[in-house]
Amino acid sequence: MSVVTRILGALAAPLVAVVVAMLITSVVILASGGSPGEFWSIILSAPADRVYVNIVNQTSMIFLSALAAAIGFRMNLFNIGVEGQYQIASYTAAVVVGAALVPGLLNVALGLVVAMVAGSVWAGIAGVLKVTRGVSEVISTIMLNAIALTLVGYFLNTYGVRAGNSLRTTEIPESSQLAGWTPFLDRDGAVWTLCVLAIVAGIAFSFVINRTSFGFDLRATGMSESAAVASGVKVGRMVVISMMLSGAIAGLIWMPAFFGAAHTYGSTFQYGLGFMGIAVALLGRNRPLGIFFGAVLFAFLNEQSNRLTLESDISQNVVQITQGVIVLAVVVAYEVVRRRQVAAEQSRVKRQLDATKPTTDEAVSA
Amino acid sequence: MSTLTATPAPPVEEASRSRWTWLVVGVGVVIAVSAVRVITGEHEIDTPGSLRAALIATCPILMAALGGLWSERAGVVNIGLEGQMILGTWGAAYFTYFYGPWVGIVGAALLGAIGGALHALATVTFGVDHIVSGVAINIIGLGAARFLAEAYFADLDGGGPRQLTGLDRPPDITVPGLSDAANSLAEQHWFIISDIASVVAALTTRLNVMTVLVFALVGFSAWILWRTAFGLRLRSCGENPQAAESLGVNVIRYKWIAVVASGAFAGVGGGFLSLVASSGFVTNQTNGRGYIGLAAMIFGNWRPGGILTGSLMFGYTDSLRLRSTSAVHALLLLVAIGLIVLAIWRFKGKRTQSTVFAVAGVLFLVWFMTTDAVPREFTGMTPYIATLLVLAFASQRLRMPKADGQIYRKGSAG
């Protein structure tokens, strides 16, 4: 298979998926009595300045979330628990930073470390259960998601500070708040400082996966566990470590918003980023660059859809259908492409075998 | 449970002995519950009202678990249950509003089945990873239900962009005479007699037809999956699809049927939520019950009797949200007694396990004696923690279908 067809194959699948999703969305809107033309003209119109800022902010958080999921996926480990991990981590970090144990920027660093540790511990539970007791990480992380939600709710109800109608953690000191960068007017909002975390994490991810022996072991385990075991990879250790790494990144997901805008864990907490991250990781084939484009796409759809409420009768929730269909269509497309490639490979090998009748060794290496 | 003997007992004897074990367990549970009730004076733990609430909370979980059973018995993991269930809540509301509750139930099944068909298309036909497809279906289901609610319910009578109330309920059944007698007997708070009367009262007073339907569907599924040729073939697809195919079973078709049925069952579970368990449709009504259903299925070891037990337990804990915290506190004593009995029972065979149970039992006893209320949130966590514990400590006793979650391609039997 040549490089060109390979690249075309990789790009074709997401494009086909997006087109399919657009078609299905249009059909759904049409069936419910709306106008697809109106929908797409609103979604595809140029975003306002404020929306640009939001898209950047949301992209960074979705990107982090997808990166967290991708680490597990790269070694066939289904960390469905990103949602719970970032909830636990965000709450813990909010409590510690709110306590203002250390001054200023040191407090920010402390908060990030705490978030990563909390996230990795929560994810580590699933890793340890898998390695020691053989519990499927899919089931345990689903259970841990629900436990995390209730546990955080309990702590917030018990130790939270009342603000209006809801409870929240203590607001972080002003010296630890990170204002961010305002590219437009003040009222259009700021790109949060910690969005930079997404870039750092993306580069680190790429480096660790592609340039270190750990990353090699991780990829090897994902491609063939038996081959990895045969070449001396301690799979059990790898499972726990990658689960914890995944959890550590998950811990960072909400940090840009926390230090940039929310300043407290409460009603402003953004739920659902974990599941969105899983979807984006699948869309981007667990590669940082692919994930980046996926995150931009999802953030764009989310933010542009807000305009639907004001400018049309179409519910903005329709973009959730679009997003879900994109993911489903893209995984189907990838699978179809993969099967095609395998079939092509097989027939190519067969042709060569028939033509030259070499020994088996040569046929395998060909 | 009954096969501790070295030589395998004949099946008939084994079955009857297993029945005896369950009978003993059942009687033991009734005695223990009754004793706890009398000792603590917390009659609320099994008043007819409490049991009725528990029954209603059980049904959606049971239907989701049953959906999981169908799908996983055919070898397809379905974590899209939550999404299919939520589609069912919308379907039930929409069809009930226009055509009455009976069509509403069918509508719930239909919408759930659409979710199931989507899952089948992705996993069975295209061979996509089951978990991946399930995650996508949950996203689609949640989004679709929200979108459809806003598109169709906003202008209806009693409706809004996020809700639809004032729906006709499927009828309730009260058995005349028996219901009154059982209710008044239950109010006497006698030892054991009142507890049994409570159960009778809960089953004979304002019992919804849909509840009966749900339990009938469980019995029907157990019969069809374990007592018919169709069921044997379906389960063979989950155990060893290659072997099944070599015997002429159309594996792909059976998997499709199972997954679509799975979605339909989950959908009915969602429909129960909007028609019976509450006074109408609200967006995001399932609130994770699809996942609890999944937990109940694993807890129940992929068997109908097991999922029934698991769902009843989880349904009961789910219904505790509405009870007083002191009643929940009384249940700590029940858990302590249960753990200690378990410790004594396992003492002969497995010492370490027995010790763990004993220690846990004593801890619960201490918790019971040193506090006088349990935070509400803790009851909500019970199903999930129970499932994690069962998976962690009793996974040797669990046996999922052998080819569960594996991607099957036609003709791979070779």
Which pLDDT belongs to residue B177?
87
Q: Is residue B399 part of a domain?
A: no
B392 CB neighbours in chain A (<8 A) are 129, 133, 135
Q: What is the secondary structure of B162-181 as a DSSP string?
A: TEEE-PPPPPEE--TTHHHH
* Interface test mutation site (partner B, options A29, A318, A328, max chain B beta carbons within 10 A): A328
Check A279 against B136: CB less than 8 A apart.
Answer: yes
* CA–CA dist A273, A83 (Å, integer): 7
This model of the complex carries an ipTM of: 0.87
Task: Report the half-sphere exposure of B229 (CA within 13 A, side-chain side).
Answer: 3
Q: Is residue B70 part of a domain?
A: yes
Chain B, 307 to 366: residues with Cβ < 8 Å from chain A are none
Q: Is B394 on the interface with A (CB under 8 A)?
A: no
Which pLDDT belongs to residue B8?
44
* CA–CA dist B56, A29 (Å, integer): 35
Q: Is residue B235 part of a domain?
A: yes
pTM for the predicted model, two decimal places: 0.89
Where do runs of H (alpha helix) occur along B74-153? Answer: 81-99, 101-120, 130-152
* Interface test mutation site (partner A, options B77, B150, B393, B396, max chain A beta carbons within 10 A): B150
Express each pLDDT in B168-188 by its tens digit: 889 998 989 888 888 888 888
Strands B280-282 and B207-208: unpaired
Rounded mean pLDDT, B114-140: 93
Which pLDDT belongs to residue B155?
86
The alpha-carbon gap from A176 to the nearest alpha carbon of chain B, in Å, equals 32
Please classify residue B103 by burial: count the beta carbons closer than 10 Å to its beta carbon, then call 0-12 exposed, 13-18 middle and 19+ buried. middle
Residue with tokens 């019969």: B223
pLDDT > 70: percent of chain B = 95
Q: Is residue B337 part of a domain?
A: no
Check B127 against A335: CB less than 8 A apart.
Answer: yes
* CA–CA dist A245, B4 (Å, integer): 44
Q: Which of B122, B151, B294 sits opposite A332 (nearest CB)?
A: B122
Q: Which of B77, B129, B391 sits opposite A135 (nearest CB)?
A: B391
Strands A166-168 and B163-165: unpaired
Check B139 against A80: CB less than 8 A apart.
Answer: no
Strands A166-168 and A161-163: antiparallel
The domain that holds B57 is classified in CATH as 1.10.3470
- Look up the domain containing B219 and give its range: 45-316
Q: How many domains does chain B have?
A: 1
Which pLDDT belongs to residue A72?
92
Q: Is B126 on the interface with A (CB under 8 A)?
A: yes
C-beta of residue B151 within 8 angstroms of C-beta of residue A32 = yes
Chain B, 177 to 206: residues with Cβ < 8 Å from chain A are none
Q: Is residue B391 part of a domain?
A: no
Q: Is residue B247 part of a domain?
A: yes
A317 CB neighbours in chain B (<8 A) are 143, 146-147, 150
Tell me which chain B residue has its CA closest to the CA of residue A139: B295
Nearest to A171, CA basis, from A91, A118, A97, A104? A97
Express each pLDDT in B111-120 by its tens digit: 999 999 999 9
Which pLDDT belongs to residue B29?
87
Chain A, 49 to 78: residues with Cβ < 8 Å from chain B are 78
> How many H-runs (helices) and E-runs (strands) does chain B carry?
16, 5
Q: Is residue B15 part of a domain?
A: no
* CA–CA dist A338, A336 (Å, integer): 5
* CA–CA dist B263, B37 (Å, integer): 40
Q: Crossing angle for the helix pair A104-133 and B376-393, nearest 10 degrees?
A: 40
Instruction: Work out whether the CA dihedral B186, B189, B190, B195 comes out positive or negative.
Output: positive
Q: Is residue B294 part of a domain?
A: yes
Nearest to B4, CA basis, from B25, B18, B23? B18
pLDDT by residue for chain A (366 residues), tens only, comes to 567 777 776 778 888 888 999 999 999 999 888 889 999 999 998 888 889 999 999 999 999 999 999 999 998 888 999 999 999 999 999 999 999 899 888 999 999 999 999 999 999 999 999 999 888 888 899 899 999 999 999 999 889 888 888 899 999 998 888 888 888 888 888 899 999 999 999 999 999 999 999 999 999 998 888 889 998 889 899 999 999 999 999 999 999 999 999 999 998 999 999 999 999 999 898 999 999 999 999 999 999 998 888 888 888 888 999 999 999 999 998 888 888 888 899 999 999 988 886 555 554 554
Model confidence band, residue B413 (pLDDT cutoffs 50, 70, 90): low
Check A135 against B388: CB less than 8 A apart.
Answer: yes
The alpha-carbon gap from A57 to the nearest alpha carbon of chain B, in Å, equals 22
Instruction: Work out whether the CA dihedral B69, B71, B75, B78 comes out positive or negative.
Output: negative
Which pLDDT belongs to residue B374?
81
Q: Is A330 on the interface with B (CB under 8 A)?
A: no
